A = this chain, B = another copy of it.
Amino acid sequence: MPEPSALDPAAQAGGPGIEHGAGRGRRGPYRKSAERRRRIVDAAVEVFSEQGYRGATIRTIAARAGISPSSLLHFYATKNELLWATMTHRDSVRFTGPEHSFPDRVVGQAIANEDVPHLVRLYGVLTAEAATQDHPARGYFAGRFAVLRGQYADEFEALADAGLLRPDVDPAVAAVTVVALWDGVQLQALYDPEVIRAADVLRDYFRLVLTDPGVLATPDQLGRWWQERRPSGADVIADGDTNETL
């Protein structure tokens, strides 16, 4: 599950729904509502990440949020809508910066993701589950994979042009490999959380394909950089408006 923060741009558009203004310090009638929404989405992240979409139930999520199922459905009219709100809910973290090379950004993102294990788990479980037919998030993840492969292929092309990539490595294959590696490691981590470190495995692959592995930052360096830059705990909840792609 690479980069849980890299969501479909279409998802950010937001429908013509009501502005709920979460987190903006409003005092109006929406404040309490926003808090409720937040509690619900937090509970949904937990339950979806543990049970998957099909395994999760409105009852369980409502119970975890401390409200009745009916109240939950007052805010999110369908389970599908709640799923969408949960996936666009971005307290996710983005490791980014022009001062880092592509490989460092990938490994850095893996390190940053360690701050949000619940989101990593959510995306891992849903990526896998959504591969089945008729899953509401199938189209979303299919597009995500395609976009990701394309972006990574471009990045590897650029590395090749700069002479940093071993000449016998095909950028397209490398792109598929990095995405597969990331998802595969995180799948194993779902079964065996203690044994696996995504950042180490990814870095090891980059080490093999680069002409000069010395340009790679160490996980420790990236970790320290991240500790300083890490955003504060300002979480924002997106509206639960449904979207065609879901």
Residues of chain A having any CB pair with chain B under 8 Å: 50-52, 54-55, 124-125, 127-129, 131-135, 138, 141-142, 145-146, 149, 168-170, 173, 176-177, 179-185, 187-188, 190-192, 195-196, 200-201, 204-205, 207-209
Q: Are A187 and B188 in contact (CB under 8 A)?
A: no
Q: How far is the CB of A202 from chain B (nearest CB, A)?
A: 9
- 16 A-B pairs in the complex with CB atoms less than 8 angstroms apart: A50-B133, A54-B54, A54-B55, A131-B191, A138-B191, A145-B191, A146-B192, A176-B188, A177-B181, A180-B184, A180-B188, A181-B184, A183-B184, A183-B188, A184-B184, A208-B208
Bound CA–CA A141/B128 (angstroms): 14
CA distance in complex: A32, B153 (Å): 54
Is A131 within 8 A of B134, CB to CB? Answer: no
Query: Oligomeric state, in number of copies?
Result: 2
A176, B200: Cα distance in complex, Å: 11
A-side interface mostly: helix
- Chain B residues, Cβ within 8 Å of A204: 169-170, 173, 177
Given known A-B contacts A145-B192, A196-B176, A201-B177, A131 and B187 have beta carbons under 8 A apart? yes
Chain B residues with CB below 8 A from A192, complex form: 142, 145-146
Tell me whether A129 and B184 are in contact (CB under 8 A).
no
Knowing A51-B134, A133-B51, A191-B131 are in contact, say whether A180-B180 is a contact too (CB < 8 A): yes
